[in-house]
Chains A and B, each alone.
Chain A
Amino acid sequence: MSHEVLEFDVVSASLTEKAKTDGAELIWDRQQAMKAKCGFGDKGLCCRICAMGPCRISPVEGKGAQRGLCGATADVIVSRNFARMVAAGTSAHSDHAREIATVMHMSNKDGNYKVKDVGKLLNLAKEWGVETEGRENDDIAHEVAEIALNEFGKPFGTQRFITRAPEPRQKLWKEKNFEPRAIDREVVTLMHSTHIGCTGDADSMLEMSMRTSLADGWGGSMIGTELSDIMFGTPTARGTEANLGVIEENMVNILLHGHNPSFSEMVVLAAEEPEMIAMAKEVGADGINLVGMCCTGNEVTMRHGVKIAGNFYQQELAVLTGAMEAVIVDVQCIFPALARLSDCYHTKFITTSPKAKITGSTYIEFSEEHALESTKTIVREAIMNYANRDRSKVLIPQAKSKALVGYSVETVIQHLDKVVNSHTDVFNTVKPLSDVIWAGVLRGAAGIVGCNNPQVKHDKSHVTIMKELIKNDVIVVTTGCAAQAAAKAGLMTMEAKELCGRGLKEVCERVGIPPVLHMGSCVDISRILDIVGRVAIERGLDNSDLPVVGVAPEWMSEKAVAIGTYVVTSGIDTYLGVTPQVLGSEHFTDMLTNTIEEKVGARFTFEEDPVVCAQLILDRMEEKRDRLGI
């Protein structure tokens, strides 16, 4: 076990010691077993899309194999591998959204799934031209859901939500043929083009990847967020706590891990049922302590204030505490390793989705038709397991931080209204935000998102970049595991304003917000697109004109690749703290980090040192400000 990687994280230190005693294997053990990474894969130069291969291209130009058996060059192979990451990321977000649309289509005022935010439903119905006059909410919801479901496979037209982008951006997408059509179609087309003997041009491959990524950000993810809000309520500001210290010694601890709120919302309901709480008391516990992890954790904390046990890399650590009765999961970013790890403890590792079965887990299929009953069965399993806890093996790190969460676009605007003078301005706009950026009180805004990755010190890049930016009057909005890193680091408190520059501090005080705003899960990055777009529209500009950036300091998943790509394609500069597997092609790397700007007004920057990265971001913001003359 290399302890070096954990230097930044004091919480994990005690637990990794415990892992040794308990004979539990962790991600860092596996990383060590992996030894040095394959240089070909690391540079994106390995291709195994057909059975003539695997082929690998020499990373040195003019030396060794320069082409695969089919003749694909390094440029082509790198671009294809990249494209497939985008396709996979897009598919994950989109399938997530499809499930939400599906339960919306089942919504019934007497059923488990009900429309919670009628206002948001009616707004979307209006946007999509659905008749609302004199109709039942459920009827409207069903029609809206059907339209949403058609977004995945409609034969004609383009994604509906792209019309939310600023006009110049829409025009650019049209001109460049970037307008995403049906979501599934874009994924399929991209997979098609990466097949052997199809696209053999890196430039074209990247453009197709960009179009596909837009089908995620302005398609799948946006549908996921919008419909989740309609079904489960638009998040509002609320307090919670974060880090492993939220696990309770004398309660039935249930870790909710995964992504989809159509599942987690029902688990929250089930865990609140009086009969479940009574049952927990019967087995000798004080009650049920539901804690969240990763994006499902974000979804339930945004809407219910459910405490956050941790982010991606802490999923094993939560089990290591020995106090976790059940880990219940649905889809995405769930270590299969949890099955083996759970065997070291009494923990039940329960998989629920036919899309993500894991060998060695207890599989209890979640049925949307009997959603609440189904989750009650799962919660019961957890409660029954309380008696099996081996108290000699329990170690709960006493670390937790308070956090304010729930900053949907609607909630942010509601807060901005506090500083609107009723005689000079109208309410319910982002103008106050745009004003402080224009005046220079805030230098810009950064969306910090993404995963954890054992290639960098956990949470260190997230927290370091955030601190550097807020210190320099850049407001930070965040989602996903980056948001949870911020919550654990105490950056989502009102007190965190003391870490800010004078401008951001004033804004926090006047608006009544922490300097780092939790905007939700990874599909909720669509909220960030929404708010940036609103500021651009407010000023009659394009996204690419604004001093705004996206950052993924510790990204790891293909979803992150899709996200980064749609953010850049939306005109927002994106900084990656982990270098993607593209360096094998100088041309492709140059496109991502340089020439892509000619096409969409934004580019990628790869920088693994968080302090340097923050400085590059600040410089770029000043450059954009200078161009605007502000």
Chain B
Amino acid sequence: MSLFDLIYAGSNAAWGLAEQTVADAIQQKGKDQKVAFPSTAYSLPVIYSATGMKINTLGDLETALGVAKSLIVEEEDLGKALNAGLSTAVSAEIIESVKYALQEDPYEDEPGIGFVPDPVIRSLGVPLVTGDIPGIAVLLGESESPEELAAIVKDYQSKGLLTFLVGKTIDQAMEQDVKLGLEMRVIPIGYDVTSVIHVVSVAVRAALIFGALKPGDLAGLLEYTKQRVPAFVNTFGPLNEVVVSAGAGAIALGFPVIADIDVPEVPGALLTQKDRSLTVKTSLETREIKIKVKEIDIPVAFAAAFEGERIRKDA
């Protein structure tokens, strides 16, 4: 199957799932059931920033589904394929928003934090602008080697990057005693692949808040994220078509994807790096993140990421 076909298959699958999710929720709660993420002024940020449309109820989500569907035009064309990737992002946001419509805090019982509230993004703004946070790494999937995964996370951490974990990488990092938390700059998002949208949501809100972009200016948004949000994605393990189409969404935003398996490579956008000891270097080079490091030869890690660390008696 060609790469584009794979993307379309994934986007269709994600859309199908979104449609089903919305239908089930409406059946359960009715069209007027309120839909909102906690602590945000940007409604459903991905949909809002891309279309200018604010979603308030489950019924509104049906319109959003129409938008997502219209983005899937199955032609052998990069622009269309990237749009299909954005469609997957919209579908994912729809699915995630339904979770919040049905439950007060759907992420209550898991380590993932789910939706990232506005105040957190505002607090990240200054270090992002000053380059104190030189990049945003999104780690997705399940690594064959948890040790190597942990080493990657710690490496990003020591370089001051903000790392988001999605899927099994969360458990793997925890098992390897990686300290998680906003102050540690390692943030578990959620187990479902759709939860990756909460990271995308961070990027698009950064564009709205700090780039002063008008909601609905999709071209401006993509330009902003590509130029100003130094994010990238590392995937671990086999990729299913939904992940591939989500990857296309990342690429549409200007975020390269570095996989640890063979993929149809696109220079600068989609790469294979099987040697996980080189994942960090490969990713930083691809996203053109240059880190000014002054190596201090000390027996413990040293980085801004450890600034908020608390020292407990039993630790």
> CB within 8 Å of B: which of A106-156?
none
**A510 at the A/B interface (Cβ < 8 Å)?**
yes
Residue contact A436 to B266, C-beta cutoff 8 Å: yes
Q: Roughly how many angstroms separate A622 CA and B2 CA in the complex, as a whole number?
A: 11
**A185 at the A/B interface (Cβ < 8 Å)?**
no
> Which interface residue of B4, B76, B275, B278 has the most chain A CB atoms within 10 A?
B76
Least distance between A509 CB and chain B CB atoms (Å): 10
Residue contact A622 to B82, C-beta cutoff 8 Å: no
**B155 at the A/B interface (Cβ < 8 Å)?**
no
Q: Roughly how many angstroms separate A625 CA and B3 CA in the complex, as a whole number?
A: 12
Least distance between A151 CB and chain B CB atoms (Å): 37
Residue contact A510 to B268, C-beta cutoff 8 Å: yes
Contact count band on B = 20 to 34
> CB within 8 Å of A: which of B262-308?
264-268, 270-273, 275, 278, 281-282, 285-286
> CB within 8 Å of A: which of B20-51?
none
8 interchain residue pairs of minimum CB distance: A502-B79, A503-B78, A419-B267, A423-B282, A432-B267, A439-B264, A502-B78, A435-B265
**A344 at the A/B interface (Cβ < 8 Å)?**
no
Residue contact A629 to B285, C-beta cutoff 8 Å: no
Residues 55-89 of B, flagged 1 when their CB comes within 8 A of A and 0 if not, give 00000000000000000000011111110000000
Known: A423-B281, A622-B76. A436 touches B2 (CB 8 A): no
Q: Which chain B residues border A502 with CB–CB below 8 Å?
A: 77-80, 82
Q: Which residue of A lies closest to B78 (CB)?
A: A503
CB pairs A–B below 8 angstroms (10 shown):
A421-B273, A424-B282, A432-B267, A435-B266, A436-B267, A440-B2, A440-B264, A473-B77, A501-B77, A503-B78
**A443 at the A/B interface (Cβ < 8 Å)?**
yes
**B1 at the A/B interface (Cβ < 8 Å)?**
yes
> CB within 8 Å of B: which of A438-458?
438-441, 443
Query: Please, how many residues of chain A have a CB less than 8 angstroms from a CB on the other chain?
Result: 25
Least distance between A7 CB and chain B CB atoms (Å): 32
Residue contact A422 to B79, C-beta cutoff 8 Å: no
Q: Roughly how many angstroms separate A440 CA and B3 CA in the complex, as a whole number?
A: 7
Least distance between B72 CB and chain A CB atoms (Å): 16
Residue contact B266 to A441, C-beta cutoff 8 Å: yes
Q: Which chain A residues border B1 with CB–CB below 8 Å?
A: 629
Besides A423-B282, A436-B267, A501-B77, 4 new A-B residue pairs in contact (Cβ under 8 A), listed by A number = A416-B267, A424-B272, A440-B76, A502-B79
**A506 at the A/B interface (Cβ < 8 Å)?**
yes
Residue contact B78 to A438, C-beta cutoff 8 Å: no
Residue contact B82 to A421, C-beta cutoff 8 Å: no
Residue contact B2 to A501, C-beta cutoff 8 Å: no
> CB within 8 Å of B: which of A399-455?
416, 419-424, 432, 435-436, 438-441, 443
**A13 at the A/B interface (Cβ < 8 Å)?**
no
Residue contact A421 to B76, C-beta cutoff 8 Å: no
Q: Which chain B residues border A622 with CB–CB below 8 Å?
A: 76
Contact of B268 among A419, A423, A440, A473 (CB under 8 A): A419
**A278 at the A/B interface (Cβ < 8 Å)?**
no
**A630 at the A/B interface (Cβ < 8 Å)?**
yes
Known: A420-B267, A423-B278, A436-B267. A629 touches B2 (CB 8 A): yes
Q: Which chain A residues border B286 with CB–CB below 8 Å?
A: 421
Q: Which chain B residues border A625 with CB–CB below 8 Å?
A: 2, 76
Q: Which residue of B lies closest to A502 (CB)?
A: B79
